[in-house]
Amino acid sequence: MPSSFQEIVSSAFLLALVLLTSPSDAIRSFPTAAARFAEAPQFRNGDGCPASTFRGCVTACDPSHVHIAMTLDSHYLRGSIAAVFSILKHASCPESIFFHFVASAGPSSSDLYRTVRSVFPSLRFKIYPFQENLVRGLISASVREALENPLNYARNYLADLLEPCVQRVIYLDSDLIVVDDIRRLWDMHLPESAVIAAPEYCHANFTRYFTAEFWESGDGQRTFFGRRRTPCYFNTGVMVMDMERWRAGEYRQKIEHWMKMQQRRRFYELGSLPPFLLVFAGEVEGVDHRWNQHGLGGDNLSGNCRPLHPGPASLMHWSGKGKPWARLDAGKPCPLDHLWAPYDLYIPPSSSSASDSSAAALFSL
């Protein structure tokens, strides 16, 4: 890993150069209602990949699959496609990955399905309609309007939406890229005492995620008393989740309980994160920090540029206000945004049909 910020920038440029000039199958472009994307190359399983027990049939219940859950909407579609592309590109067994996409129920889900299928013709995936009314009445105002999107809370309902045969899932946000084999995260051991696993950040000031009144009244101490470990902050954008234990423990109801309490007496400001912390902080199984180099989008107000945290990176996460595609389009990218750019299959609307071939060549990875 580069040892200085200047070396990070240099590495970003070299990585982009290698990826953009590497040989691959031809990529063709196609239009969608809101955006145009290039078709991704086909990725095949390598030697030693687990054999499917459902020969000739693709099903979410195949035990050989790595299950990944993500939300899908038009606003973050560009980020979602880049995330999926990065996962497939670095996977040792890309054909053994099954994607569970949760999208708001309605006509737009059909457009999203067609777009994903066009970009990734052989992708194993399913789109699950999410009834936003399930959670809309429980959402409180946040410091940023984007955090009030009902889809931010869809992770709470995965155990209800996904097939009962899905026992484990990796939940990922849409503003990240994976630069390692996702199976390494999938294969981690999750002890019986844990429902979720995620990178923890115990150096962060945990108390600041709740109001002073919450702590001064003693509610904080009572809430976290008796946890397995000292409560620490963790980012919910990357989690390994045991669906069987989630269902058995009725954790969706426990999260909803805190959301209802928030409506009666406001004690947090950051949308869907604090209820998760209230239920799971101190009970999370820790994961190496390399699997969530988060905060690359900057803080929730200014979105200022940030460097990578010390140590290796298997997953880079642009959590925070700034998104790499928006900064790149504005011509004001942060240095690390250039690491995201090689996975961007988006074709700008200014590209004319006459330049489609050159645009497709540009995005050939």
How far apart are the C-alpha atoms of 40 and 120, rounded to whole Å?
6
pLDDT in tens, 161-173: 999 999 999 999 9
Both structure tokens of 324: 């790499």
Fold of 59-347: Spore Coat Polysaccharide Biosynthesis Protein SpsA; Chain A (3.90.550)
Whether the CB-CB separation of 230 and 105 falls below 8 Å is answered with no
How far apart are the C-alpha atoms of 33 and 118, rounded to whole Å?
13
Q: What confidence category does residue 56 fall into, taking pLDDT thresholds of 50, 70 and 90?
A: low
pLDDT in tens, 105-149: 988 899 999 999 999 999 999 999 999 999 999 998 877 777 789
Q: Helix H segments across 73-154? A: 77-90, 108-119, 133-136
Strand partners, 125: 99
Whether the CB-CB separation of 197 and 234 falls below 8 Å is answered with no
- pLDDT at residue 95 above 80? yes
Query: How high is the pLDDT of residue 46?
Result: 84
* Count of CB atoms situated within 10 Å of the CB of 253: 9
The pTM assigned to this predicted structure is 0.86
How far apart are the C-alpha atoms of 285 and 291, rounded to whole Å?
13
